Amino acid sequence: MAMEQEKIVERLLEATRNLSTVVDLETYLQSILSAAAELTESETASLMEYDDSSQQLCFRYVPWFHREAISSTKIPLDKSAAGWVFLHVKPLIIEDVKSDPRHYVIIDSLADFNTRSLLAVPLIFHGRPLGVLEVFNKTERYRDEDIYILESLASLAITALQNDSLEKDLAASQKEVRNLDRMKNEFIAITSHELRTPLGLVIGHATFLRELTGDRHQEQVDAIIRSATKLKEIIENLSTVDNYQSGGASLRSRKISVSRLIEDVTIAFRDMAAKKTVTLKAEIQPNEELSINADGNKLSVALSNLVKNALTFTPNGGHIIVRGSREGNSIKVSVEDDGIGIPADDLARIFERFYQVESHLTRKHGGMGLGLSVAKSMVEHHGGRIWAESKEGAGSRFIFLLPLDSKPEEPAPAKPFAE
């Protein structure tokens, strides 16, 4: 008996280990049926699943020699032992099927099989029956130990079935997401292209009218130009992200000074910062060469978007510091502010295209949620990495690393933002 128990445990452990490496579901479930028949000393076994459309049980897995005869047969719930197990959600032993009307004798005729006794247990997932596992014709009488064995194998079987179902659902969802992303990219590309020409005409003619009208209507014309320029910026951002994400963009690399780039960007936003009484300054490690082969224009746009984002979310009287330094085999650039900060739940998504921390019903700062996405695309196109650290109410720090060679280092893990 001790050897029998050891064999049972060993076989169940083997089936459990194999569950984590299932490649072919049918092969695994056939091994479950083989184990069920062997460990309960039964002649054969079968696995049935509930079919919602017919509200009956159907054979999912049976021994190969019965497959052709009964694979398409449906089992009624009210006229079968398997149906009784499914409806009552508990095991059933029938020692003599001839004396029990719950046995569905039609299957014996179809399979040319003589059922003498059976044991059936439900396949349960989250408390709900999804099918039935059966074994037939034990050499002796079925015992409680056989029920435990079959219930253990039933748990492994339903786990394998659910894993397979989840994988199929995931694959279908990923395909749908890819299709939606393709459609979105096509829409952005077409819309951007179609809007450029009329928008260019609006800006051109409005600029011409400003020269003609003089001071009388200058305020109105300036409003047109500002709004049209803002639309142009949005369209350019859309096109930029789309080009980088679709692989259509190219870099014009040359040796540039990141120190000079930081200084130029800081100077460019000094007037905007002054209007908000925000202190904007650059801090670059002295006597350190911060040169790199890169597309200076694109990195300038990336850094400008980070500075503009900091200005947007830093209140009057705040401070913004743009830093540059050498870190290992990379150049590190950061933009730090003492603004409103970013909620922890939003931090992981702020670089997504169109994502905005504020609700569209409560937004105060404008924009379409493209600036950070553009910055991310441009940095990553250079082989770099970008991330953010923030504490709500205390400010934010945006950092990107640019590799000095073709194999950039991984950035250090994000540290807690210091107040």
Q: Distances from the Cα of 401 to the Cαs of 9, 63, 243, 330, 376, in angstroms? A: 54, 59, 22, 6, 11
DSSP state of 388: E
Give the per-residue pLDDT at 378: 86
Give the per-residue pLDDT at 277: 94
DSSP state of 363: -
Domain end, chosen from 246, 271, 296, is at 246
Domain interval for residue 200: 183-246
Give the per-residue pLDDT at 359: 45
In this structure, is residue 417 part of a structural domain? no
How many beta carbons lie within 10 A of that of residue 172, not counting itself?
A: 10
How many beta carbons lie within 10 A of that of residue 366, not counting itself?
A: 9
**pLDDT tens digits for 119-143?**
999 999 988 999 999 999 998 899 9
- Looking at the structure, do residues 33 and 166 belong to the same domain, yes or no? yes
**Cβ pair 188, 74 in contact under 8 A:** no
How many beta carbons lie within 10 A of that of residue 221, not counting itself?
A: 19
In this structure, is residue 418 part of a structural domain? no
- Looking at the structure, do residues 357 and 337 belong to the same domain, yes or no? yes
Number of separate domains in the chain: 3
- Looking at the structure, do residues 241 and 258 belong to the same domain, yes or no? no
- Looking at the structure, do residues 195 and 272 belong to the same domain, yes or no? no
- Looking at the structure, do residues 273 and 348 belong to the same domain, yes or no? yes
* Residues of the chain falling short of pLDDT 50: 1-3, 247, 359-363, 365-368, 406-416, 419
Give the per-residue pLDDT at 413: 46
- Looking at the structure, do residues 353 and 272 belong to the same domain, yes or no? yes
In this structure, is residue 150 part of a structural domain? yes
**Cβ pair 383, 398 in contact under 8 A:** no
What is the DSSP track for 140-203? S---HHHHHHHHHHHHHHHHHHHHHHHHHHHHHHHHHHHHHHHHHHHHHHHHHHHHHHHHHHHH
Q: Which of 213, 195, 167 is nearest to 23 (CA)?
A: 167
In this structure, is residue 198 part of a structural domain? yes
Domain end, chosen from 246, 271, 290, is at 246
Give the per-residue pLDDT at 408: 40
In this structure, is residue 194 part of a structural domain? yes
- Looking at the structure, do residues 277 and 315 belong to the same domain, yes or no? yes
In this structure, is residue 415 part of a structural domain? no
What is the DSSP track for 225-251? HHHHHHHHHHHHHHHHHHHHHHT----
> Maximum Cα–Cα distance for the chain, whole Å?
107
Q: Which of 86, 60, 89, 67 is nearest to 161 (CA)?
A: 60
- Looking at the structure, do residues 139 and 228 belong to the same domain, yes or no? no
CATH number, domain of 279, equals: 3.30.565.10
Q: What whole-number distance in Å separates Cα of residue 226 and Cα of residue 262?
A: 26
In this structure, is residue 57 part of a structural domain? yes
In this structure, is residue 416 part of a structural domain? no
- Looking at the structure, do residues 238 and 265 belong to the same domain, yes or no? no
**Cβ pair 313, 383 in contact under 8 A:** no
> What's the burial of 211, exposed, middle or buried (CB within 10 Å: 0-12/13-18/19+)?
exposed
- Looking at the structure, do residues 19 and 96 belong to the same domain, yes or no? yes
SS3 24: coil
Q: Which of 100, 107, 45, 97 is nearest to 75 (CA)?
A: 107
Q: Which of 192, 242, 227, 185 is nearest to 373 (CA)?
A: 242
- Looking at the structure, do residues 138 and 282 belong to the same domain, yes or no? no
- Looking at the structure, do residues 71 and 159 belong to the same domain, yes or no? yes
Give the per-residue pLDDT at 369: 60
**pLDDT tens digits for 212-263?**
877 777 888 888 888 888 788 777 766 666 555 554 556 788 999 999 999 9
